[in-house]
A = this chain, B = another copy of it.
């Protein structure tokens, strides 16, 4: 058992736990910065640890498989060694990028064939191919290969899609059980790796079912029957309104085992994450904090701040009172100048700040759950963040 539950909230479903992986322990609830192409955009592995406080990052199977390509990562000893990131890595299955980036998709029982977004050449991703890529990357946690239905989505399409995802889930698990250890670089050569625990690569299922509660229930139950090391809720944050996003979580979580981690994929805003935590979610990932950073947005306790705004021209204050000590010395005035002058340092400082803000929110959530004060914390944080105080 790689997940240990510590505390559960008496008045919500919020909980804390420890997720053990080969490359180290992760305290949950946790946010995972996204390292699309092997590293989080604009950042170095060192500052992800020293400033952001990241415990695990996410790598994108679709992107890494296209570039640099699997042969490079295989010969360099896997993604940890290649990217110099020695802490845990979760890889997605590539399914979401096939849906959002690739062109000329053709979905069959076998898998998805598509024209990739870089040079348009045709690639095939199947449950087995995705598992093999993720094993070769050597992530600590691999995600099953699913179909992500769009929003909005007819119930019939969602039901068929879910059935396909379940069949693919079985094939993923089968391939993984029989073959993963023959591909995971640190299982093949543990002596060169920075391993903390004698654990294999883990695999998480993904609950689908769009906005339909019975489908979410069915999907969760079918996946739990197959049996995974953790469970994600997918197909959310794809354009649906916020209450549908929360409902998707509410419809899935009750059917997931207490003793396995739960992961809400691809979201969200700070208040949304607190709502998700209150509904029993343990893990998050999102490109948003780094993407909006590159557009000049900084998260603060008082809500988002647009550093380009004229009001910060002479502002000697740091981005936020809670920013990391290493970032306190940079004034809003200086960062605004760097941003306007198109200096990359601006994007980096905002990315560091935003990720630190997200990771700090997770740490505070853990502390408040353990102290039994999570509900008050969530209420107060959200009130101030949404400027309702």
Contact = CB atoms under 8 A, between A and B. Distances in A.
A314 to B, nearest CB: 5
A39 B72 contact: no
Given A326-B46, A331-B76, A337 B41 contact: no
A347 B314 CA distance: 30
Contact of A338 (B38, B76, B329, B337): B38
A343 B39 contact: yes
A83 B341 CA distance: 13
B313 A343 contact: no
Interface string A14-43: 000000000000000000000001110111
Given A37-B337, A334-B82, A338-B39, A345 B72 contact: no
A44 interface: yes
Contacts of A41: 343-344
A120 B61 CA distance: 47
Contacts of A348: 44, 344
Nearest to A39: B345
A316 B78 CA distance: 12
Contacts of A295: none
Interface string A322-338: 00001001110110111
Contacts of A84: 329-330, 334
Contacts of A314: 72, 75-76
Nearest to A84: B329
A7 interface: no
Given A68-B340, A82-B334, 14 more contacts: A37-B338, A41-B344, A42-B343, A42-B344, A42-B345, A43-B345, A44-B345, A68-B333, A68-B341, A72-B313, A72-B314, A76-B314, A76-B333, A84-B334
Q: Rank and list the top 7 A-B pairs by shortest CB-CB distance, nearest first.
A: A68-B337, A37-B341, A84-B329, A42-B344, A344-B344, A75-B314, A82-B334
Interface of A: 37-39, 41-44, 46, 63, 67-68, 72, 75-76, 82-84, 313-314, 316, 326, 329-331, 333-334, 336-338, 340-341, 343-345, 347-349
